[in-house]
């Protein structure tokens, strides 16, 4: 049974009790007297089931897609510029009969009818509702209720439209939680009203144009606030005022509060919200209701009791949908909720559950109306890292004693390297120190040296230059001082070989390699004479 049908059941039960007439019931339900009598007849014959719509559970007749396409095509071809009523008349002659309102709605959606000139709507004073509980006006008033030296507070006011009975309470701020608290207190005392008249504040209505546009483009209903969602669950109709004057009854009573209540609070010396609420309930509201209260046109009270299957605290709260993780944890406002193992048959991992946050901050988990047991964790459990294999300990492998590296080289006798005068200011490099200890395995049998040249100093022309010779040990130097006897060339460990004319570098290896006529040390840059053919260095 929908909210409208429950409301009809409540009103016709009053008719059955002879508290109101059928015509009055029709006015309460905003129905014609004829329709009200028809519903009353079905209610007497079938009981509560007679108020349920007869098409409930039957497929609708919304399959007009082909007919709509034919109507629009015929309008574009023959009747462009016709009004909707005129076009519907001619379409009926083509066996495309559609109601005039349906034709106008289709043409307007396709942008084929022009918007008529707007005429100012005639307005008249709205009459009071006839029964108590038929409509309530609700508003919040922020004011310096305790004087200019104290912070401002909010007075939430609810007034019955028929009897002008006021129900009010002080709060620190005006938000959804305080609106829930005031409405819950009223419902527990008097019952559910049929409708609620409020302004377009963000507590009651979504005003974000981007959110509304996204909903329209997706074909969804208008998004609801938490308060509107709760009123829909309870079956209370929400009426939104377009101006403060539309709900002038509650606006005028706010002025009365700001005039009288401020003075009485100052007179009694009340400066706290708790004290002001106690004074409101015990003294001020009683005197105010006697002063401004009215007798309703109909003496019936149409407040509806809360259904037994609805828990008010589970409706008047903040409800948000959350996804359950693979670890069966739900995160809500940095709080981690672990669902208990007893709900394992529900297979909740990856599904949506509802998180209910009460007015006192307590949390509940619901899944399709079923409460879930959970425990709050201090922090979300982190998955254990996968164990990494421990690498084997690193051991240094030394060559065997029989390896060639550990064998001493038995070659010809070592000879001293001819000394070369060191230029002034030049330090002795590691190449100079290694010359006397390096093996003479790279000594060239076909080259002989009478002097050494470095890139840091000009060559010593008094000693001689490097020249090829066909006989070992024969000197063919330039005329000058008596040449020195030939001596073997000892190459340092930092010795490097480069190809002449910017060719790639060739390092001494165990395989025979043709070298160039210039060799440069990698450490000191010193030049050394080179053999024409390399021999094995091992």
**Structure confidence at residue 282 as a pLDDT band (50, 70, 90):** very high
Mean pLDDT of 456-483: 44
- Look at 221 and 397; give whichever has higher pLDDT: 221
Is the Cβ–Cβ distance between 466 and 447 less than 8 Å? yes
**pLDDT beyond 80 at 477:** no
Task: Measure the CA–CA gap between 433 and 405, rounded to whole angstroms.
Answer: 22
Beta bridge partners of 332: 335
Mean pLDDT of 61-89: 82
User: Tokens 């001020």 appear where?
Assistant: 284
- Looking at residue 333, the DSSP 8-state letter turns out to be T
* Assigned CATH class of 318-377: mainly beta
Specify the DSSP element, H or E, that contains 364: strand 363-367
How high is the mean pLDDT of the chain?
Answer: 77
- Look at 118 and 156; give whichever has higher pLDDT: 156
* Assigned CATH class of 136-208+222-292: alpha beta
Three-state DSSP class for residue 232: helix
Task: Measure the CA–CA gap between 171 and 188, rounded to whole angstroms.
Answer: 19
What are 141-156's pLDDT values in tens digits? 999 999 989 999 999 9
Task: Measure the CA–CA gap between 154 and 175, rounded to whole angstroms.
Answer: 10
Is the Cβ–Cβ distance between 51 and 42 less than 8 Å? yes
Segment among 278-287, 338-347, 469-478 with least mean pLDDT:
469-478
What are 30-73's pLDDT values in tens digits? 889 998 998 898 888 888 888 887 777 665 555 567 888 888 99
- Look at 531 and 187; give whichever has higher pLDDT: 187
Hey, what are 533's tokens?
A: 């053919």
- Looking at residue 12, the DSSP 8-state letter turns out to be H
Between CA 343 and CA 348, with CA 346 as vertex, the angle to 5 degrees is: 90
Mean pLDDT of 442-459: 42
**pLDDT beyond 50 at 394:** yes
Is the Cβ–Cβ distance between 280 and 147 less than 8 Å? no
**Structure confidence at residue 488 as a pLDDT band (50, 70, 90):** low
Q: In b/e form, how buried is each residue of 383-405, taking b as 16+ CB within 10 angstroms?
A: eeeeeeeeeeeeeeeeeeeeeee
What are 195-239's pLDDT values in tens digits? 999 999 999 999 988 998 998 888 888 899 999 999 999 999 999
Sign of dihedral through CA atoms 292, 298, 299, 302? Answer: negative
Task: Measure the CA–CA gap between 316 and 185, rounded to whole angstroms.
Answer: 11
pLDDT of residue 45: 87
**Structure confidence at residue 96 as a pLDDT band (50, 70, 90):** confident
């Amino acid at each position: 049974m929908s909210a409208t049908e429950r409301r009809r059941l409540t009103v016709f039960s009053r008719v059955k009790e002879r508290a109101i007439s059928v015509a009055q019931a029709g006015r309460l339900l905003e129905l014609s007297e004829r329709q009200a009598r028809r519903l009353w007849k079905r209610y007497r014959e079938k009981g509560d089931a007679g108020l349920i719509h007869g098409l409930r559970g039957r497929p609708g007749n919304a399959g007009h897609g082909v007919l709509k396409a034919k109507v629009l095509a015929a309008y574009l071809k023959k009747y462009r510029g016709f009004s909707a009523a005129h076009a519907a008349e001619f379409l009926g002659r083509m066996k495309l009969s559609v109601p005039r309102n349906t034709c106008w709605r289709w043409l307007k959606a396709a942008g084929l009818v022009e918007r008529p000139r707007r005429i100012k709507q005639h307005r008249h004073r709205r009459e009071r509702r006839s029964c108590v509980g038929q409509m309530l006006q609700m508003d919040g008033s922020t004011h310096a209720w305790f004087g200019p030296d104290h912070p401002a507070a909010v007075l939430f006011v609810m007034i019955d439209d028929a009897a002008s009975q006021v129900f009010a309470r002080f709060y620190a701020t005006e938000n959804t939680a305080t609106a829930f608290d005031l409405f819950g207190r009223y419902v527990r005392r008097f019952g559910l009203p049929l409708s609620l008249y409020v302004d377009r504040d963000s507590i009651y209505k979504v005003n974000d144009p981007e959110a509304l546009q996204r909903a329209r483009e997706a074909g969804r209903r208008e998004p609801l606030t938490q308060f509107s969602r709760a009123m829909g669950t309870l079956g209370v109709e929400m009426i939104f005022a377009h101006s403060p004057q539309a709900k002038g009854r509650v606006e005028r009573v706010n002025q009365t509060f700001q005039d009288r209540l401020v003075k009485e609070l100052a007179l009694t010396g009340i400066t706290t919200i708790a004290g002001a609420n106690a004074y409101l309930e015990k003294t001020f509201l009683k005197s105010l209701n006697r002063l401004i209260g009215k007798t309703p046109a109909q003496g019936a009270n149409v407040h509806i009791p809360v259904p037994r299957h609805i828990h008010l605290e589970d409706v008047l709260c903040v409800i948000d949908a959350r996804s359950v993780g693979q670890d069966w944890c739900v995160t809500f406002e940095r709080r981690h909720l672990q669902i208990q193992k007893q709900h394992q048959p529900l297979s909740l991992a990856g599904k949506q559950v509802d998180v209910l946050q009460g007015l006192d901050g307590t949390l509940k988990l619901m899944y399709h109306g079923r409460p879930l047991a959970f425990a709050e964790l201090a922090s979300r459990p982190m998955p254990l890292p996968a164990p990494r294999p421990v690498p084997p300990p690193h051991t240094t492998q030394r060559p065997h004693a029989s390896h060639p590296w550990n064998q001493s080289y038995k070659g010809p006798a070592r000879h001293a390297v001819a000394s070369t005068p060191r230029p002034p200011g030049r330090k002795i490099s590691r190449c100079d120190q290694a010359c006397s200890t390096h093996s003479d395995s790279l000594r060239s049998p076909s080259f002989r040296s009478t002097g050494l040249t470095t890139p840091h100093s000009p060559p010593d022309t008094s000693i001689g230059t490097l020249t090829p010779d066909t006989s070992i040990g024969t000197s063919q130097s330039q005329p000058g001082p008596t040449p020195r006897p030939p001596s073997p060339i000892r190459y340092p460990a930092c010795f490097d070989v480069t190809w002449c004319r910017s060719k790639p570098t060739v390092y001494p290896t165990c395989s025979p390699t043709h070298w160039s006529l210039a060799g440069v040390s990698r450490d000191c840059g010193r030049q050394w004479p080179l053999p024409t053919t390399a021999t094995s260095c091992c």
